[in-house]
Amino acid sequence: METTSTPTHCPYCALQCGMNITPLPQGGVEVTERPDFPVNRGALCGKGRTAPEVLSSAVRLTSPLVRSGGRLVPASWEEALGRIAERLGRTREQYGPDALGVFGGGGLTNEKAYTLGKFARVVLGTSQIDYNGRFCMSSAAAAGTKAFGLDRGLPFPLEDIPRTGCVILVGSNLAETMPPSLRFFSELRENGGTLIVVDPRRTKTAEQADLHLAPRPGTDLALALGLLHLVVAEGRTDEDYIRERTAGWEEARAAAMGHWPEYVERITGVSVPQLREAVRLFCEPEAAMVLTARGPEQQSKGTDTVGAWINLCLATGRAGRPLSGYGCLTGQGNGQGGREHGQKADQLPGYRKLDDPAARRHVAEVWGVDPDSLPGPGRSAYELLDALGTDIRSLLLMGSNPVVSAPRAAHIEERLRSLDFLAVCDVVLSETAELADVVLPVTQWAEETGTTTSLEGRVLLRRQAISPPAGIHSDLYVLHDLAARLGVEKGFPTDPEEVFEELRRASAGGPADYSGITYRRLAQENGVFWPCPATTGVTDEDGEDGEDGEDTVLDGLPDDPARDAETAVPAVPSVHPGTPRLFLDRFATGDGRARFVAVAHRASGEEPDAEYPLLLTTGRVVAQYQSGAQTRRVAELNAAAPGPFVELHPRLAARLGAAEGDPLAVVSRRGRAVAPARITTGIRPDTVFMPFHWPGEGRANTLTNPALDPTSRMPEFKVCAVRVEAAES
C-alpha cells in the first residue's frame, strides 16, 4: 500500500521549518526531511521531529468538557457550544459588550486570527481582545513602525545573513530557541563575517560568537547608546546616508553623546575595550545587521531599547541597503501574522490601525457592517488579563496558556478563577483549560489547512495531512457555530481558503497587503513575502483597465504597424512577486525617510535593593516550547528537560552554601518559586536565570514583573529584583 507524503511546516516557532508528513500503515504519522524549503533545508530540532506525538489521543483532548459539580466532565458539542453561547449572550445583555473578553494566541493560523478578531468585533461587539503575541515582539514592532513606518520581523530573508559582514545578535539564544537557524550564523563566520552576541549569560549561542558582551539585565538601552556614542566619537557615521535617507539625527546624536564609554561600563558591566571592539567589528565591513529578540524587547523600556539599536544601524548607513538592516527574531509560530489581521487590541486586518477612519471604512465594507458599529481599541494583553473578574466577566480564550506564560502568573491565575465564565479552545488540557467552565478540543497543525507568516514575513501554506479524530472540530467551526447561535449566520465560513480569500480583500491596500497571495500560489512556491498587492500592471492600449477592473500588461513584443486588433497580443495580468527585501528604495514613512529616536538610559521597573539584591532573567531551553503545554507531553522532550532550574554563578552559590541540584527558592515581590540549582560560570554573579516552561512551584512567571512599556504595553519579563535562599528538600 502506497502512502503519500504531504509537504507542510512545523507547528512550533516562527522559523516554520519545512517538513513532510507521511501517514504510517499501523497508524500515526512520521515526520521526514523536506530539503527544498530554504529556511531549514530539511534540518529539524527535537521539537519538530517529535511534533506528531501530540497528535496522539493519549495526550490530547478528544471530547468537549463542561464543568459539573466542580469537575470537568465529557459533554456533546451541542451542549458545550450551547452553554458558551448562552453565557456569552447573558453577559453581554447584563453588563454590555465590553464585559466580554477574547484572548488569542500567536500559534493560530492567519485564518483563525482573522476570524477571531472579526468575531470579537462583529458578533460580540467587544473592544476587549488581545493575544499572547503581545508578550513576544510588540516592543520591536512599535520601534520598527516609529523608525521605518512599517513593522515586519525581518525586512530581509534569513539567507542574507551569511553574506553580510557582521551581525550583532541582542538577547537571543538561537541555538536553543531556533536551532535550525544557527547554520546561517555559522555560514556567516565561515564566509569571514563576525558575530557579536549580547546576553547576560554565556549561552550556547554566545559560545559561537567572535565577541560576547554580557551586560547587566535591563541595561541593553545604555549599551546601544554607548556604542552609538563611540561611532560618533570615532568618526564612523555615514553622513551622506544620514542626510539623504533619515530625519531626527541631531536630537538622537545629542542624546547618545550623554552616554560616554566609562559611564556605560559602570551601568552595564561591559568594559570599554569590549565596547570599542564591538564598534570596530560592526563598522569595518561594508554591510552589517542588528537582530534583536526577547532580551531587549521584554522590558518596560523595550521600545526605546530597540529604537536605540535601530539608531545604531541608521547612523552607520546599515538599514535599507543590501545585506544590511535591523530585524526582529519573532518567537511564536505565527507571531507575525497573528497580529497583522485583527486579534491585537488596536489593529484591523492588513496591519491597519483600528482608530483610523479610512481603515475602519475599508474593513467594514468587506465585513458588510457599519464602520460606526466597530468598537475602538481595547486593553493590551496583560491589562486585559488583569481586568478579568472585574470589568470583564466572561472570557473566550483560544490557543494560549496564561496561567504559565503571563507575568505575575499567580495573580493572573486568581483573575481567571474569578471570572463568571471561561471557555477555552485548545489541543490539550492546559493549566488554563483546567480552570475553564467549557473546554473545546480543536484540530491542530497536521489535521487542518491554513496559512502562517514566518519571522521573515514569508506567508506559508500548512497543508492538512491527516483527518482529525472523530468528534474534533476546527476553531473556524467553533466561531461559525457560536456566531450563528448569537445571531450572525453569515460571514463566518469554516473553509480556511474561503476565509483567506476574504482576508486578502480586507488586507488590500494596508501595510501588510496579502491581496496578491492565493492558496494556489502558496502551493506552488516556498512562500510569498508580504507586502504582495493584487494583480497590477499597465493598462491596455485603449487606456482602459483589463477585465474585472484588473490592470494588464502587454508581453513586450516590438511595435508592428501592420498588426491589427485581431492579431494583437492579448493583455495578461501581471503578478506581484512579493517583497523579500523592504526599504531598499525608500522607507514606509510619508517622506520615505527613516526616523531616529532620541532616547536615554533609564532604570528598569525594579532595581535590586537590600531585600531583593539580585536580578532574575527568564528564557527557554531547547527541549521545551513556550508554556510547555504541548512539549511537556512528549516523553523524549521531558527526558531532555524534565523540569525547571535556577542557574547561578559559583560565587553566588558559595555565598548561599548551595551545591548543584540543591533546591533553591527564588523570591520576588510577587511570589516564590522553587527549583534545583544549576551552577555555571556562564552567568553573571549578580544574576540568576530560570526557564519559564513549567507550572507549579517552579513557575518562573510567578516572579516576573508586569511593569509595562508605555508604548508597546510589553511586560518586563526579562528583569526583576529577587533574592535567593535555600529551600527545604
Tens digits of residue pLDDT in 263-288? 999 999 999 999 999 999 999 999 99
Q: Check residue 548 and give its pLDDT.
A: 34
Q: Which of 82, 13, 1, 4 is nearest to 625 (CA)?
A: 13
pLDDT at 544 over 80: no
pLDDT at 448 over 90: yes
* Sheet strand arrangement including 458-462: 450-453, 458-462, 528-529
CATH of 65-135+334-520, one of 3.40.50.740, 3.30.720.210, 3.40.50.620, 3.30.160.100: 3.40.50.740
Q: Is 481 helix (H, G, I), strand (E, B) or coil?
A: helix
339 HSE (CA, 13 A, CB side) = 32
Q: Tell me how far apart the alpha carbons of residues 368 and 488 are, in angstroms, rounded to a whole number.
A: 12
Q: What are phi and psi of 158, to 5 degrees?
A: -55, -30
pLDDT at 134 over 50: yes
> Number of helices and strands (H, E) in the chain?
23, 30
Tens digits of residue pLDDT in 645-655 = 999 999 999 99
Are the C-beta atoms of 131 and 381 separated by less than 8 Å? yes
Fold of 614-726: Barwin-like endoglucanases (2.40.40)
Cell 502551493 sits on residue? 523
pLDDT band of residue 563 (cuts 50, 70, 90) is very low
Q: Check residue 25 and give its pLDDT.
A: 85
Which residue would you say has higher pLDDT here, 448 or 572?
A: 448
Could you count the other beta carbons within 10 Å of the beta carbon of residue 30?
13
Give Cα 587 distance to the centre of its chain.
23
Q: Tell me how far apart the alpha carbons of residues 317 and 287 are, in angstroms, rounded to a whole number.
A: 9
C-alpha cell at 421: 465564565
* CATH class of the structural domain 6-55: mainly beta
Which CATH superfamily, name and number, covers 154-329?
Dimethylsulfoxide Reductase, domain 2 (3.40.228.10)
pLDDT at 557 over 50: no
Q: Is 614 helix (H, G, I), strand (E, B) or coil?
A: strand
Tens digits of residue pLDDT in 186-206 = 999 999 999 999 999 999 999
Domain-wise residue ranges, the chain:
6-55, 65-135+334-520, 154-329, 535-575, 614-726
pLDDT at 372 over 80: yes
Strands (DSSP E) contained in 211-319 are 211-213, 246-247, 289-292
Tens digits of residue pLDDT in 409-429 = 999 999 999 999 999 999 999
C-alpha cell at 717: 519579563
Q: Tell me how far apart the alpha carbons of residues 225 and 311 are, in angstroms, rounded to a whole number.
A: 9
Strands (DSSP E) contained in 427-494 are 438-441, 450-453, 458-462
Segment 652-674 shows an average pLDDT of 98
DSSP string covering 247-261, please?
Answer: E-HHHHHHHHTTS-H
For the range 544-550, what are the long-range contacts, defined as Cβ-Cβ under 8 Å and sequence gap of 24 or more? Answer: 546/571, 546/573
Q: Check residue 535 and give its pLDDT.
A: 73
Amino acid at 642: P
pLDDT band of residue 339 (cuts 50, 70, 90) is confident
Give the range among 18-27, 360-369, 457-466, 580-589 with minimum mean pLDDT.
18-27
pLDDT, mean over the chain: 93
Could you count the other beta carbons within 10 Å of the beta carbon of residue 580?
17
pLDDT at 178 over 90: yes
pLDDT at 588 over 90: yes
Calculate the alpha carbon distances from 528 to 66, 178, 575 in Å.
41, 21, 12
Q: Which of 696, 689, 721 is nearest to 173 (CA)?
A: 689
pLDDT band of residue 3 (cuts 50, 70, 90) is low
Could you count the other beta carbons within 10 Å of the beta carbon of residue 120?
28
**CB burial readout 227-259, b (16+ within 10 A) else e:** bbbbbeeeebbbeebbeebbbbbeebbebbeeb
16 HSE (CA, 13 A, CB side) = 34
For the range 513-521, what are the long-range contacts, defined as Cβ-Cβ under 8 Å and sequence gap of 24 or more? Answer: 513/350, 514/110, 514/350, 514/459, 516/575, 516/576, 516/578, 517/459, 517/578, 519/451, 519/461
Q: Which of 135, 131, 139, 181 is nearest to 160 (CA)?
A: 181
Q: Tell me how far apart the alpha carbons of residues 669 and 606 are, in angstroms, rounded to a whole number.
A: 10
Tens digits of residue pLDDT in 691-725 = 999 999 999 999 999 999 999 999 999 999 999 99
Q: What are phi and psi of 648, to 5 degrees?
A: -150, 160
Contacts of 247 (CB under 8 A, 6+ apart): 591, 593, 594, 595, 596
Calculate the alpha carbon distances from 133 to 22, 105, 141, 406, 434 in Å.
31, 6, 11, 11, 22
Q: Is 489 helix (H, G, I), strand (E, B) or coil?
A: coil
Which residue would you say has higher pLDDT here, 535 or 176?
A: 176
Q: What is the 3-state secondary structure (H, E, C) of 376-392?
A: CCCCCHHHHHHCECCCE
Q: Check residue 354 and give its pLDDT.
A: 96
Segment 118-143 shows an average pLDDT of 96
Give the range among 13-27, 61-75, 393-407 with minimum mean pLDDT.
13-27
Q: Is 663 helix (H, G, I), strand (E, B) or coil?
A: strand
Q: Tell me how far apart the alpha carbons of residues 85 and 91 are, in angstroms, rounded to a whole number.
A: 10
Could you count the other beta carbons within 10 Å of the beta carbon of residue 94?
11
pLDDT at 28 over 80: yes
